[in-house]
Amino acid sequence: MTEKFAWVLTEGMAGMVTQAVGLAEAVGLPFEEKVIKLSLPWRWLLPRFWPRGVAGLAGTSDPLTPPWPDLVISCGRKSVGPALSVKHQSGDRTFAVHIQNPHLSSGAFDLIVAATHDRLTGENVVVTKGALHRTTAARLDAAGAGYRDALAAVPRPLTAVLVGGPNRVYRMTPDVMKIFASKLKAFTEATGGSLAVTPSRRTGAENVAALRAGLKDTAAVIWDGTGDNPYFGYLALADQIVVTCDSVSMVSEACATGKPVYVVDLPGGGDKFRQFHDDLRKDGITRPFTGVPEDWHYEPFDDTARVAAEIQRRMGHA
């Protein structure tokens, strides 16, 4: 009997890849990642206007050819049509899962994974608190081992600081980072501990420079962008976490640790982001970062494992 396998379809954006790959890893089937690029007019059209079976791929896209997978996991609007094309061309044998609201009939997919703020319901809809991710106990243990010696001598408690960057709804500027740095400095002085800071690719050189300048003479280790990102290592070894509000994925990964998670508000914001952050605060999971240390406990949520178990259950009954 041929071993079952899966495909992961995304546009290649980091946030989408993390969610789709994290779910595929949790399901446990061997899988292949495929980056989707659409040709005209398909990249202009909403998925509900696509004829059944059309993949709409550009020549630069990864091909979608037989043998067809047993499972396809897609994430992002532009992967909707290709994922449904795979399902159609497989004779509906492929079990199709889409992460995020596909903005078409929920019955088109075997399972849809939607966050609470999407306000999507249905028999084949699994609702999550936040974004799916790749943060597991095993991954954190392995990552933590790689940075334990480097951080062994820093004062405790250790605060991991996860810094995102500007996006379509949030602004991040050097002036914003100066204020952020002053709060981090006050926080560190109050705790007597230290910081392990990892900026992202979106942070930007000017913002990183402002953060470094503001944390001068503070007990802080700041990743310089070379070599492997210590993101998971810092998550593993930290006693508490400070994360900027611009990334649902980063906040969700931080909350999977069960450690106190402070969220840094940035100028701007959209309805979906506000709803996401409001829900976590109401549930007692996160708190706003003010520069003043607090202490609280919550039950970490693991949406990725829960969704993976539901996929395994439904595929087993198919």
- Say how far apart CA 194 and CA 212 lie, in whole Å: 14
Q: Where are the alpha helices (DSSP H) in the chain?
A: 14-27, 80-89, 137-147, 174-191, 205-214, 231-237, 248-255, 271-282, 303-317
Comparison of pLDDT for 200 and 2, the residue scoring more: 200
Span 36-65, mean pLDDT? Answer: 93
Please check the confidence at residue 1 and state whether its pLDDT lies above 60.
Answer: no
* Other Cβ atoms within 10 Å of 136 Cβ, number: 17
Using CB atoms within 10 Å of the CB of residue 55, give its burial: 0 to 12 exposed, 13 to 18 middle, 19+ buried: buried
- Tokens, residue 127: 């609702």
Average pLDDT in the 138-161 region? 95
Burial of 315 (0-12, 13-18, 19+ CB in 10 A): middle
Q: 227-273 pLDDT, tens per residue? A: 999 999 999 999 999 999 999 999 999 999 999 999 999 999 999 89
Q: Which pLDDT value is given to residue 318?
A: 54
Averaged pLDDT of the chain = 94
pLDDT in tens, 86-129: 999 999 999 999 999 999 887 899 999 998 878 888 899 999 98
Query: Could you check whether 6-129+304-317 and 137-288 share the same CATH topology?
Result: yes
CATH number of the structural domain 137-288: 3.40.50.2000
**Residue 293: CB atoms within 10 Å:** 17
Where in the chain are the domains?
A: 6-129+304-317, 137-288
pTM recorded for the entire structure: 0.90
> Which CATH architecture fits 6-129+304-317?
3-Layer(aba) Sandwich (3.40)
Cα Rg, the chain, nearest whole Å = 21
